[in-house]
Structure 1
Amino acid sequence: MMSNLFSVFDPSTSIYYTSLNWLSTFMGLMLMPTSIWLIPSRQYLMWNLLLKKLHNEFKTLLGKETINKGSTLIFISLFSMILFNNFMGLFPYIFTSTSHLTLTLTLALPLWLSFMIFGWINNTHHMLAHLVPQGTPSILMPFMVCIETISNIIRPGTLAVRLTANMIAGHLLLTLLGNNGPSMSHYLLSVLIIAQIALLILESAVAIIQSYVFAVLSTLYSSEVN
């Protein structure tokens, strides 16, 4: 029996004392070069269609000034990486890298920091004006500056924790229900299997939604500094 529910997320896979937990993060790189030389399949065409849709949406969010600078490629790559890691975590005995703040903060913090440095150096007046929403009464301006500053500072934390918490919640629920399987009767076991399949479908939807939310919010944060 597990001493801690969160022990299922502990990095423990190793060969000759070499940690292999984060290998799932880079497994997609081994599959990408082969897809270039293969005849386009339905899966390949569907993935290209999805990337084109994301490109058009991110281009709209970023504005007309950045449409020719390849800025959407950063967020499409971010979406693809998070989506792949989320789906890898649904397979048995594979380490879920996106359920750890080590990965999510590594993605969110440098993005936010680069946006802030670029904005305050190149668009200082715009960043200062952004601290006070339009139409704010004069007496409330100091409070609004404090609130906007705090909400701006916690953005990388909220991005990272949102993704981590959503991935942990579904995996914990699947683990809790799965641990009760050996002690159940045959009738309840069939119900448990149906519930596990439904939760797995839900987790697949969450994996897509959370990667999309992370990429869209990063795009919105980038558009605010222009």
Structure 2
Amino acid sequence: MITVLIADDQELVRTGFRVILESEGDIEVVSEARNGHEAIRQAALVKPRVILMDIRMPELDGLAATEQILQQPDPPTIVVLTTFDQNEYIYRALRAGAAGFLLKDAPSSRLVAAVRAAATGDSLIEPSITQRLVERFAEPAAVPGTPDQLAQLTDRELDVLRLVARALSNAEIAEEMMIAETTVKTHVARILTKLAIRDRVQAVVLAYETGFVGRDT
């Protein structure tokens, strides 16, 4: 069972998400929070596997709450809830360690998919969000060669990282590279270990910040 904490200051949003998620047989909403302080307390108390975290909340926002929750022992995976006008917040959430992003007006199927992806470590990022991040923060073109930060990766792992940076799922990468999905998972795990980063979302950030992947890639 995938346990979920919903943190959002709007009761209607929380209720709607709860109804959608609990209609699935493998997901249980174990708690709700109206602000960042409540989210931190509930995360420590109920130990959910996944948190759906709104960015803008009273008293303490979702970014600060995300940073503090991820410092807890055995922290949950956090999926940030956002809207189209929050580019800067999205980037800060990436740096804080959020493992995925979901637009608040996304269809219910995307909500369920985001929770399941987060629970298995296969983060979900909306392609539209990735594109906006690339346009704002990436270099115009990738720098020739491999940046020093990525020098320890094998050629195969670099190929996987390029596709991760395009927000492809493990299944999509497997199809693109014509390899088994389990092999992709192994490559991704090795990439994260070698780069000493938490998840594939941070791998996306690093790929763009180092110039390994750029706008024209």
Above 0.5 in TM-score?
no
Higher strand share: 2
Higher helix share: 1
User: How does the TM-score come out when normalised to structure 2?
Assistant: 0.30
* Higher RCO (CA 8 Å, separation ≥ 6 residues): 1
